[in-house]
Amino acid sequence: MACFERASPALKEILLRLYRDERAIDADHHLHEFGSVEYYIQSLVSDPDHTYLSIATPILSQAFLVSTRLSRYTIQKVKAISAEVVEIVEPPKEGYQLTIRLNFARMPHGKESIKMITDIAAVQGVILSSQLEEMLMNVNSQDVAQGMYKPIKLVYHPREPFYVIKQPQKITAVFPMRFKEKTDVIIATTFFQVTQFYNMYDFVIL
């Protein structure tokens, strides 16, 4: 069985380096991934126990997730990474949808610290999958009842939208599945998890 890594390798490397550094430093890092996701990582000598991580990411579907802010559902999913280590900063840094404060002083020790940072570095996957879950749970059932199976346009990359058609007992997804990019794997995994959890739909990728 193939094993796919949800965490951003570059983000994980930076967070591990900051966590392992024995002296506090002023640091600013900008990362761009998947053509549409941006991370900003900041540490301050004046605040040695914390590192700040801001994320800018496209909203998956303007039709169903109408706000440019992340929903409460998504925020709760991010908090669930670790209630001890992850704290949501309100409002987020200007230009970003989410800013989290990482309390390295509360980080578990040994191998658990690496696992924790890996989970934090997968925050984009948490955001993407929770948006997809929310969209699938809130698709307007009236169109389905009337036999109007309208494709729903979803965008996770500016040049590569994909479409979802929700029908009774079946969800059809049409998008360029290559299994080479993490977002492809996150989307496919989320579809399977949501449909299995609700035990309501067959799931087809075209």
What pLDDT does residue 198 have?
A: 47
Domains parsed from the chain with CATH numbers: 9-124 (3.30.1460.20), 132-205 (no CATH)
Query: Please, what sign has the CA dihedral across residues 172, 174, 179, 184?
Result: negative
Judge contact between 145 and 29, C-beta under 8 A: no
Structure confidence at residue 160 as a pLDDT band (50, 70, 90): low
Q: Percent of the chain, pLDDT > 90?
A: 33
pLDDT at 18 over 80: yes
pLDDT at 4 over 50: no
For residue 52, give Cα distances in angstroms to 3, 29, 86, 157: 29, 10, 10, 25
What pLDDT does residue 81 have?
A: 93
pLDDT at 130 over 80: yes
What pLDDT does residue 113 have?
A: 92
Structure confidence at residue 142 as a pLDDT band (50, 70, 90): very low
pLDDT at 189 over 70: no
Helix (H, G, I), strand (E, B) or coil at 147: coil
Whether the full predicted model's pTM is greater than 0.95, yes or no, is: no
For residue 32, give Cα distances in angstroms to 11, 36, 117: 10, 7, 19
